[in-house]
């Protein structure tokens, strides 16, 4: 919650729009849009330094990285890439579960996906529940760039949830 609240505070200060987010135990994903001349790296540096200091003080740890690795950034040039990256980020909470599924076809076998969909739709550290209107987050997201492409949120939900296969996730890793 602290990370999300600080991201909300700093996104306003640095004029950044958060389009999609997902927090996981050892890393996170943010799909951001720069709204002013202030570089996104300043927003990220302030957010990560603030969170690192908070964790260090709260848990009496030495200062340093809290999350796995340095943050990386990539400019997205077209709407298709925006959709693919947003889907990849939103599927992250269930990605490992998908890799563990047996996708081999056998007569009469159905892939069990309802539990995964429930987990995905209710994961509290992601913007996906906000997109579905089922949960409000401490970090406000700007869904307009997605709506401009997909036209409505039901269509976007179907787009995200239709790619719950191991092969598709491996392809999405490239984005």
| pLDDT over 70, % of the chain | 78
Residue 135: per-residue pLDDT: 84
Residue 121: per-residue pLDDT: 93
Q: How many CB atoms lie within 10 A of CB 101?
A: 15
Q: Among 67-71, 79-83, 147-151, 152-156, name the one with the lowest average pLDDT.
A: 67-71
Q: What is the pLDDT of residues 34-87, one digit of tens each?
A: 999 999 999 998 998 897 886 777 777 777 666 666 778 889 989 999 999 999
Residue 102: per-residue pLDDT: 52
- The domain locations on the chain are 79-135+144-173
Cα–Cα distances in Å, from 12 out to 7, 15, 126, 158?
Answer: 9, 5, 19, 31
Average pLDDT value for the chain: 84
Residue 68: per-residue pLDDT: 60
Residue 53: per-residue pLDDT: 81
Q: What is the pLDDT of residues 108-134, one digit of tens each?
A: 545 456 777 888 999 999 999 999 998
CA 5 to chain centre: 16
Residue 164: per-residue pLDDT: 67
Cα–Cα distances in Å, from 74 out to 32, 135, 174?
Answer: 10, 28, 12
């Amino acid at each position: 919650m602290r990370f999300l609240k600080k991201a909300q505070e700093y996104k306003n200060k640095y004029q950044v729009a958060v389009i999609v987010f997902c927090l996981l135990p050892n890393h996170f994903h943010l799909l951001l849009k720069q709204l002013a001349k202030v570089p996104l790296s300043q927003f990220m540096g302030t957010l990560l330094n603030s969170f690192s200091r908070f964790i260090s003080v709260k848990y009496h740890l030495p200062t340093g990285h809290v999350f796995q690795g340095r943050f990386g950034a990539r400019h997205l040039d077209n709407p298709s890439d925006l959709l693919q990256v947003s889907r990849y980020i939103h599927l992250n909470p269930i990605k490992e579960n998908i890799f563990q599924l047996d996708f081999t076809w056998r007569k009469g076998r159905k892939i069990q996906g309802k539990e995964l969909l429930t987990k995905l739709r209710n994961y509290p550290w992601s913007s996906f529940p906000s997109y579905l209107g089922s949960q409000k987050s401490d970090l406000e997201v700007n869904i307009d760039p997605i709506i401009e492409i997909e036209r409505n949120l039901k269509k976007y939900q179907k787009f995200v949830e239709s790619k719950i296969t191991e092969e598709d996730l491996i392809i999405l890793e490239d984005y």
